[in-house]
C-alpha cells in the first residue's frame, strides 16, 4: 500500500514484520517501516493505534514479539535502551520521565555526569544544560528543581537531555503536545537542523498541520496495522485524519444552542493564589462553557487549583450563592465541583493500579456492598466507561500506565463522570488526543452543558476554546485581563489580550 518510493541505498533503518503481543492482545501486526538519513518520517494514528509501542521497540525499550530490525543493512537486536543508544537511536518519551527532586542540569546529565578530575563538574553541567535549553527557545534556569517546572518546561528538559546523546536516529513521541506555538517553532527548527546533518527522525504528533509542516513522509497506523505510507506532499491534514480514523472528520466542534442567561452557580471575587494569580473575579452560570485562555505561565491552572483547594488562596468564592472556602480538594468534590488536572500522570491517575481502581477510587461510596466493595458493580462501571468513552484497551485487567496516553485521558474523564459533578473544570481536555476522539470529547463537553452542568475549560489551543466556549476569559501574568464573547471570540483578539501586544506592535 506504500506509495512512497525509497532507494534502499539511503536506508538508515529498516524493520520488517514487526509484531508485538501483550498477553493475548496483539497491538502491532506485521509492521514494515524504514527511515532514511536526513528525513523526518511521521507516524500518525488514533489513540491506542500502537505508535508509542512501535517507537519503544525501535529504541530498545521493549523487544518485538516477532520481526527483524536492521541498521545500515545489518540485523540488530537490542537488550535495552542503552544498547540502542550505542547504535545511535534515542527516544524522547511521550510521558515525562524526569527525577522531580533534581535540578534541570542534574536531570539532563543524569547517568552521564560531567567530571573534573574525580569531582562532578556542576559548572560545566549548568552551562551545558543552559545552552541545551536555550537551543530549544527556552530560558529555563538550569538550577531549577524539576518539580517546580510546568509540564511544557519539563518536556523541553526531556528533549534537551535526549539531544545531548550522540545520535543518528531521533524518535520524538508527541514532543509538542504541551508546548506553546513559540516553543513548538523552536523545536521544529532544531529538528530541521538535525535533519540537515543527516540524522533520521521519527516523529509522532496528533497535530496534523504540524505533521504537514515538518515531515517528509507520513505513515499511518490503525489498530496496530500499517494502513498507509505516503510522501507528505501527497497529503493534506484532512487526508491524514481520514486515514487515521477511517472516516471523514469534517466537523470538529458540535453545534450549540446559544446559552440563555441562567443563574450564577459560581462567583469568584478578588481571588489571590499567592505567587500565581491576583485579584481574579468572574462568574460561572448554569449550563455555560467558560474558557480560560492565556499563555503558558499566565496562572490559569494555578487559579483553578486555588479555587478547588489544591493550593492556598485568599478571596471570596460563592457556590450557589453561599460563601465557601475549600480547604482541600475533598471539600470541593463534596460540593460537586470536579477539577481535571492537566497533569494526568502526577495528579490524575495511579499508573501502577488497574483500570477499575482508577475509575472508582474517587467515588468508592457508590460501590459499597453490604460488607465490602461490590466488584460486580465496579466491573459493570468499567464496561460502561469503556463503551461511553471508547477507551481502546486490548484487555480490561491492565494497569492504567499500560493504556496509551490518549486513552489515559479518556479514563480520567470517565472517572470524573462517576462523581456526577455539577461544575466541571477541565485543564487541557484534549492534550494528546487524536482528532477523531477530540470530536467526541467536544461533543461530550457540550452534552454536559446541555444537561445543565457548568464547565470551565482551560486550554492552550485557541481554536478549541473558540469552537466550544460561550465566553472566554483571558489571563496574562496572573490576572484576568479581558473577556471575549460572540464575534470577538477570535484568535486575534485573544492573542492581543494574552500578550498585551497589538498585532501592529508585534509586526
Ligand atoms: N505494557 C503493556 N501491557 C498491555 N498493553 C499495553 C502495554 N503497553 C501498551 N499496551 C497497549 O497497546 C496498545 C497501543 O498502545 P500505544 O501506547 O502504542 O498507543 P499510541 O498509538 O501511542 O496511542 P496514543 O496516541 O494514545 O499515545 C494500547 O491498547 C495499549 O493499551
Ligand atoms: Mg502514544
From 24, 241, 394, 440, mutation site for ligand 1 pocket: most ligand atoms within 8 A of C-beta: 394
Sorting pLDDT into bands at 50, 70 and 90, what band is 112?
confident
Percentage of the chain modeled with pLDDT above 70: 94
Kindly report the average pLDDT of the chain as a whole number: 90
- The pLDDT value given to residue 138: 86
Is the pLDDT reported for residue 484 higher than 90? yes
pLDDT digits (tens, 9 = 90+) for 190-208: 999 999 999 999 999 999 9
Q: Checking DSSP bridges between strand 322-324 and strand 337-340, what pairing results, if any?
A: unpaired
User: Average pLDDT in the 294-299 region?
Assistant: 85
Closest CA to 61 of 52, 72, 69, 70: 52
The C-alpha R_g of the chain, in whole angstroms, comes to 23
Sorting pLDDT into bands at 50, 70 and 90, what band is 2?
very low
Q: Cα(437)–Cα(46) distance, rounded to whole angstroms? A: 8
Ligand 2 centre distance from Cα of residue 92 (Å): 11
Q: What is the DSSP letter of 190?
A: H
Residue with cell 459493570: 380
Q: Cα(279)–Cα(272) distance, rounded to whole angstroms? A: 5
pTM for this predicted structure: 0.84
Atom 27, ligand 1: which residue's CA is nearest?
A: 405
Is the pLDDT reported for residue 9 higher than 50? no
Q: 128: Cβ below 6 Å to ligand 1?
A: no
From 48, 435, 441, mutation site for ligand 1 pocket: most ligand atoms within 8 A of C-beta: 48
Neighbours of 301 (CB within 10 A): 27
- The pLDDT value given to residue 183: 83
Q: 294: Cβ below 6 Å to ligand 1?
A: no
**Lookup: cell for 398:** 491492565
Q: 50: Cβ below 6 Å to ligand 1?
A: yes
Ligand 1 centre distance from Cα of residue 332 (Å): 33
Could you say which ligand is closest to the alpha carbon of residue 391? Answer: 1
Please, which residues have CB within 8 angstroms of residue 349's CB and are 6 or more apart in sequence?
Answer: 358, 400, 401, 408, 411, 412
438 membership: H or E segment, kind and range: helix 435-450
Residue with cell 538550569: 142
Q: 402: Cβ below 6 Å to ligand 1?
A: yes
Q: Cα(41)–Cα(62) distance, rounded to whole angstroms? A: 21
Sorting pLDDT into bands at 50, 70 and 90, what band is 504?
low
- The pLDDT value given to residue 1: 45
- The pLDDT value given to residue 404: 87
Q: 436: Cβ below 6 Å to ligand 1?
A: no
Q: Cα(55)–Cα(52) distance, rounded to whole angstroms? A: 5
Q: 224: Cβ below 6 Å to ligand 1?
A: no
pLDDT digits (tens, 9 = 90+) for 313-355: 999 999 999 999 898 888 998 899 999 987 766 667 888 899 9
Rounded (5°) CA angle 203-132-147: 85
User: Average pLDDT in the 139-164 region?
Assistant: 92
Is the pLDDT reported for residue 507 higher than 70? no
User: Average pLDDT in the 249-278 region?
Assistant: 87
Q: Cα(466)–Cα(455) distance, rounded to whole angstroms? A: 14
Amino acid at each position: 500500500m506504500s506509495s512512497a518510493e525509497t532507494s534502499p541505498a539511503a536506508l538508515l533503518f529498516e524493520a520488517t514484520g514487526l509484531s508485538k503481543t501483550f498477553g493475548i492482545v496483539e497491538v502491532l501486526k506485521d509492521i514494515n517501516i524504514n527511515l532514511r538519513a536526513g528525513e523526518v518520517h511521521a507516524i500518525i494514528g488514533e489513540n491506542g493505534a500502537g505508535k508509542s509501542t512501535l517507537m519503544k521497540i525501535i529504541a530498545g525499550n521493549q523487544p518485538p514479539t516477532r520481526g527483524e530490525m536492521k541498521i545500515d543493512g545489518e540485523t540488530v537486536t537490542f537488550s535495552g535502551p542503552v544498547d540502542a543508544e550505542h547504535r545511535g537511536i534515542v527516544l524522547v518519551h511521550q510521558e515525562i520521565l524526569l527525577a522531580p527532586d533534581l535540578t534541570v542540569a542534574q536531570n539532563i546529565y543524569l547517568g552521564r555526569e560531567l567530571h573534573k578530575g574525580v569531582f562532578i563538574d556542576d559548572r560545566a553541567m549548568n552551562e551545558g544544560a543552559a545552552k541545551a535549553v536555550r537551543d530549544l527557545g527556552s530560558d529555563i534556569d538550569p538550577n531549577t528543581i524539576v518539580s517546580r517546572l510546568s509540564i511544557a518546561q519539563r518536556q523541553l528538559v526531556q528533549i534537551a537531555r535526549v539531544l545531548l546523546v550522540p545520535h543518528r536516529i531521533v524518535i520524538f513521541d508527541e514532543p509538542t503536545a504541551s508546548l506553546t506555538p513559540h516553543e513548538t517553532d523552536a523545536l521544529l527548527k532544531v529538528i530541521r537542523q538535525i535533519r540537515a546533518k543527516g540524522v533520521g527522525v521519527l516523529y509522532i504528533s496528533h497535530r496534523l498541520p504540524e505533521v504537514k509542516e515538518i515531515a517528509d513522509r507520513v505513515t499511518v497506523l490503525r489498530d496496530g496495522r500499517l494502513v498507509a505510507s505516503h510522501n507528505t506532499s501527497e497529503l493534506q491534514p484532512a487526508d491524514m485524519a481520514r486515514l487515521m480514523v477511517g472516516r471523514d472528520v469534517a466537523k470538529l466542534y458540535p453545534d450549540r444552542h446559544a446559552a440563555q442567561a441562567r443563574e450564577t452557580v459560581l462567583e469568584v471575587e478578588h481571588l489571590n493564589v499567592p505567587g500565581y494569580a491576583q485579584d481574579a473575579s468572574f462568574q460561572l452560570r448554569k449550563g455555560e462553557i467558560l474558557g480560560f485562555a492565556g499563555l503558558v505561565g499566565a496562572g490559569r491552572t494555578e487559579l483553578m487549583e486555588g479555587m478547588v483547594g489544591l493550593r492556598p488562596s485568599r478571596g471570596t468564592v460563592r457556590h450557589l450563592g453561599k460563601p465557601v472556602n475549600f480547604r482541600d480538594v475533598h471539600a470541593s468534590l463534596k460540593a460537586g465541583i470536579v477539577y481535571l488536572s492537566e497533569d494526568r500522570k502526577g495528579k490524575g491517575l495511579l499508573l501502577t493500579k488497574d483500570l477499575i481502581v482508577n475509575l472508582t477510587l474517587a467515588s468508592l461510596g457508590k460501590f459499597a456492598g453490604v460488607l465490602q466493595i461490590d466488584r460486580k458493580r465496579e466491573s459493570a462501571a468499567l464496561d460502561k466507561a469503556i463503551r461511553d468513552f471508547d477507551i481502546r484497551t486490548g484487555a480490561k485487567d491492565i494497569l492504567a500506565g499500560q493504556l496509551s496516553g490518549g486513552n489515559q485521558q479518556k479514563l480520567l474523564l470517565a472517572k470524573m463522570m462517576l462523581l456526577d459533578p455539577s461544575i466541571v473544570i477541565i485543564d487541557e481536555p484534549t492534550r494528546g488526543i487524536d482528532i477523531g476522539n477530540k470530536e467526541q470529547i467536544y461533543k461530550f463537553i457540550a452534552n454536559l452543558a446541555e444537561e445543565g452542568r457548568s464547565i470551565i475549560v482551560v486550554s492552550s489551543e485557541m481554536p478549541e476554546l473558540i469552537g466550544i466556549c460561550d465566553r472566554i476569559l483571558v489571563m496574562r501574568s496572573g490576572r484576568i485581563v479581558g473577556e471575549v464573547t460572540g464575534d470577538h471570540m477570535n484568535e486575534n483578539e485573544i492573542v492581543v489580550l494574552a500578550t498585551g501586544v497589538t498585532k501592529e506592535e508585534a509586526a
